[in-house]
């Protein structure tokens, strides 16, 4: 029999390919980083106060003084878009936090307990999933009153089943692991096992769904603001800026163009970041489960 020789260079290249971050993760991280920087440093980067009115510069096209032009009140559009990044990011964080607070505990309970508890909660979530998120958000905001906070809380409530399903499926797999049985044999209770051993191992999957959901929250929050159920004037929320630019679309297209670009890149960055994380974490899991031949 001939001995099989492995080329060290080929092995090193294979390992490099396995550990290399996917391009979607790099691009998503770059776009998301720009969003975070804009949201954090908006008061320092913006050339003008967000609500400064200059009647003499009404509907000015992009120029040296106003990089992206001005709106119908003479307010600098670039400054308002920068501050709108802060509102978009804050709203997305509120939505994901609400969805996680509602969905993760229920998913952990159903996945760990199983049986009748799992069946009851799963039927409840199936009914929950049967209602479109925007419809739930519209009804809840209509009852509570239009505001960006109410809109994102409502979207968080509508998106909680996504966290429930991820947490439940991971818990059902992890609870059968040897270390969980060992912890139970040593006297650890269900709460301690869940908090100390199970939920930390669910975090990679929850991180992926959180990042992807944040992109959806930016988009749906802008949609609710566009129809008047989200942010209210004079807030510089991107969807509201789009709505305000409709009246001047023929004469001042920059009022809708640049907020639309901001929404596109914000959603694209967060979505690509989530997809890149999913790909990278899948590769890491696959490598960790490999056994030497």
Strands, E, within the chain: which ranges? none
CATH of the domain at 166: 1.10.3720.10
Longest CA pairwise span in the chain (Å) = 89
Please report whether residue 15 resides in a domain.
no
Does residue 225 form part of some domain?
A: yes
User: How confident is the model over 49-68, as pLDDT tens digits?
Assistant: 999 999 899 999 999 999 99
Which tokens is 59 given?
A: 């509907």
DSSP summary character for residue 229 = S
Does a structural domain hold residue 12?
Answer: no
- Token match 């969003």: residue? 35
Asked if residue 1 belongs to a domain, the reply is no
What are the φ/ψ torsions at residue 54 (nearest 5 degrees)?
-130, 95
pLDDT digit string (tens) for 120-146? 999 998 888 888 877 888 888 888 888
Q: Is 269 contained in some domain?
A: yes
- Total tally of structural domains belonging to the chain: 1
Q: Does the residue 19 lie in any domain?
A: no
- pLDDT, residue 219, reads 93
Residues of the chain with pLDDT below 50 are 1-4, 10-14, 16-17, 286, 288-293
Whether the ω angle into residue 234 lies within 30 degrees of 0, i.e. cis, is yes
Is residue 122 a part of any domain in this protein? yes
Residue 177: which H helix or E strand, with range? Answer: none
**Coil vs helix vs strand at 76:** strand
The per-residue pLDDT for 10 is 43
- pLDDT for 283: 59
What residue numbers bound the domain in which 158 lies? 24-51+65-284
- Give the pLDDT score at 20: 77
What is the SS3 assignment for 70? Answer: strand
């Amino acid at each position: 029999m001939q001995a099989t020789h492995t080329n060290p260079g080929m092995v090193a290249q294979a390992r490099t390919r396995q550990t290399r971050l996917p391009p979607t993760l790099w691009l998503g991280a770059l776009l998301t980083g720009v969003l975070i920087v804009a949201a954090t440093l908006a008061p320092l980067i913006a050339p003008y106060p967000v609500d400064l009115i200059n009647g003499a510069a009404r509907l000015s096209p992009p120029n040296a003084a106003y990089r992206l032009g001005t709106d119908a009140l003479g307010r600098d559009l670039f400054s308002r878009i920068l501050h709108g990044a802060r509102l978009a990011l804050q709203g997305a964080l509120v939505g994901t936090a609400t969805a996680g607070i509602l969905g993760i505990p229920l998913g952990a309970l159903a996945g760990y307990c199983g049986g009748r508890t799992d069946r009851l909660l799963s039927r409840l979530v199936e009914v929950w999933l049967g209602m479109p998120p925007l419809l739930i958000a519209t009804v809840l905001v209509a009852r509570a009153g239009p505001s960006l906070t109410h809109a994102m809380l409502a979207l968080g409530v509508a998106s909680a089943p996504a966290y429930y399903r991820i947490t439940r499926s991971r818990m059902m797999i992890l609870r059968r692991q040897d270390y969980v049985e060992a912890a139970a044999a040593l006297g650890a209770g269900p709460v301690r096992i869940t908090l100390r051993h199970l939920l930390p191992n669910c975090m990679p999957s929850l991180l992926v769904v959180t990042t992807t959901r944040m992109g959806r929250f930016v988009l749906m929050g802008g949609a609710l603001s566009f129809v008047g159920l989200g942010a209210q004037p004079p807030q510089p929320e991107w969807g509201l800026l789009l709505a305000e630019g409709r009246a001047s679309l023929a004469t001042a297209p920059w009022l809708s163009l640049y907020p639309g670009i901001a929404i596109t890149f914000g959603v694209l960055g967060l979505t690509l970041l989530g997809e890149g994380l999913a790909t990278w974490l899948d590769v890491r899991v696959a490598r960790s489960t490999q056994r030497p031949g």
